[in-house]
Chain A
């Protein structure tokens, strides 16, 4: 049996991730910045939902929604990120899978969907649905298709390690930190892009949707068209909205998700 306090620790980390993601959503006020900006809240919304779901899977007293609801939510989320990855791939090819902004989120969402759909509760808990999962994590429940669980765990581990490296490097890009905006962006246009072109930001989306042969200025112009403030704007890209905060949440979730997958094999 896995000691419950270990599951409690992971659940607590997920609650922190949920709280941070909620704070990011509130601070970004996507509902006040038009459809573009609202669409870009998908990363934080995904983090929020996944963290709440995982906390409930780890500790049964933290359950919120029935299994069916979570399956529906993660099915929609998986489809959404798959759509965004396809869009990215149309622009940047296979790089979208390896280093794109949405591929890790697609894997996260798909892994969540898999966990909810493949979970086999132990006989004693079969009537409790996911309520048996906390017990299952102590050795009573398993996942069907364990090879899939293993592959998802490997992918999550890979993305988490890559994120850790990029987050800690002196060459960390705008995708991860504000360093790019501080040192590598001579003009105001690119400064805005560099500061806020993290996963799911307006600039990132505008650039992703720009034609591959579009000049930088044109692509950046699209970024400005959706009213992303420049790097110096404190309301976007600093504090809780800093890109590294979202990346840190993603690392925590990736490791926790891989942990859950492996202990339920």
Chain B
């Protein structure tokens, strides 16, 4: 059997377009495509880290700002880190950006996908603490609309759920369940979205003008059309903080419970999750403020959307160990061929 045949490559359509050129085009499975999505977001993150702003004092001030409101045991290391970055801004930021660039390339390069995913988990946890102040979840200021529980922790969660391994036993009902099993994957989803619902109802977020001020505050430095969009959205929720928070929380609870529902209902709640992620990204996060030139990452919107796709019901994925045929597609496609 040829290497390509063993890899489960899609055969060419006879006489079809590029019959020769694409005769052996690889057909990555869904999990591999999601891994590539994660790699793409890491690459975007890395390139944003190379922006001029990140080499300025603004970056370490941003880091130091995340210590505010956190308990001392959390805040002290952040303050130390911010001072360190202030003294070696160019070197450290270049290292940070390059690490993220290597993570992106490592995930996209099949033989190194495991190493890169493992490294991304460690890196994400470090950045979550030292760069995002644990997503401000301990400060009372966290809001799902502005990126709670911290975009970078969702990178780590995705790395775990997209780990290139399959649990033996029952077929996985969705991609996220392949590595950790359906119960654990569902529990992680539930915790994440319920925590978002909880944050939406925090006193600081349900105040009459809280949501309005949060959205209106994104205008600075944005292009005119995006600033106008933000102004329009902000005016819609002016003095409606409590009602908006309740509506958002209800939607988030429905999303949280969705993965426990039968497939059609689960799909509907995942679509809702995609819509909520898009609304948060556009109106709450202003596309991660990328167009201001000062964004360190695209924020949580795209990551929540990618996460929702990981839970999309699929035809049962048979674990590799349960198969009798040699060299299952998933194993070869996701870098295990090199091991």
Contacts and interface: CB of A to CB of B under 8 A. Distances in A.
Main secondary structure, interface of B, reads helix
Given A185-B23, A212-B16, A146 B52 contact: no
Interface string B23-43: 111111000100010011001
B87 to A, nearest CB: 15
Contacts of A49: none
A12 interface: no
B21 A197 contact: yes
Interface in B11-26: 12, 14-26
Contacts of A213: 15
Interface in A120-177: 137-139, 142, 146-147, 150, 153-154, 157-158, 160-162, 164-175
Contacts of A183: 2-5, 24
| A contacts with B: majority SS | helix
Interface stretch (A33-41, A108-116, A214-222): A214-222
Given A215-B15, A216-B15, A157 B44 contact: yes
Nearest to B14: A216
B246 interface: no
B290 A150 contact: yes
A210 B126 CA distance: 54
A203 interface: yes
Interface residues of A, number: 69
Nearest to B293: A265
Contact of A99 (B4, B25, B223, B337): B25
Contact of A165 (B7, B55, B108): B108
Nearest to B97: A6
A198 interface: yes
Interface in A50-65: none
A162 B36 CA distance: 7
B51 A165 contact: no
B40 A193 contact: no
A216 B18 CA distance: 9
A26 B18 CA distance: 26
B47 interface: yes
B55 A172 contact: no
A50 to B, nearest CB: 18
A262 interface: yes
Given A161-B39, A263-B52, A265-B291, A179 B24 contact: yes
A-B interface, 9 closest residue pairs, ranked by CB to CB distance from nearest: A193-B20, A92-B17, A171-B26, A139-B52, A197-B21, A164-B108, A183-B2, A180-B24, A171-B7
Given A1-B56, A3-B94, 15 more contacts: A95-B17, A99-B25, A137-B52, A161-B43, A164-B105, A165-B32, A166-B26, A171-B7, A171-B26, A193-B21, A207-B17, A207-B20, A216-B20, A262-B47, A265-B293
Interface of B: 2-9, 12, 14-28, 32, 36, 39-40, 43-44, 47-48, 50-53, 55-56, 90, 94, 101, 104-105, 108-111, 223, 225-226, 287, 290-291, 293, 332-333, 337
Interface of A: 1-3, 6, 88, 91-93, 95-96, 99-101, 137-139, 142, 146-147, 150, 153-154, 157-158, 160-162, 164-175, 179-180, 183-185, 190, 193-194, 197-198, 203-204, 207-208, 210, 212-216, 218-220, 223, 255, 258-259, 262-263, 265
27 contacts: A2-B51, A6-B50, A99-B25, A146-B223, A147-B225, A157-B43, A161-B43, A164-B39, A165-B28, A165-B32, A165-B108, A165-B109, A168-B108, A170-B7, A171-B27, A172-B24, A180-B24, A183-B2, A193-B21, A208-B17, A208-B21, A212-B15, A212-B16, A212-B17, A216-B14, A220-B20, A262-B48
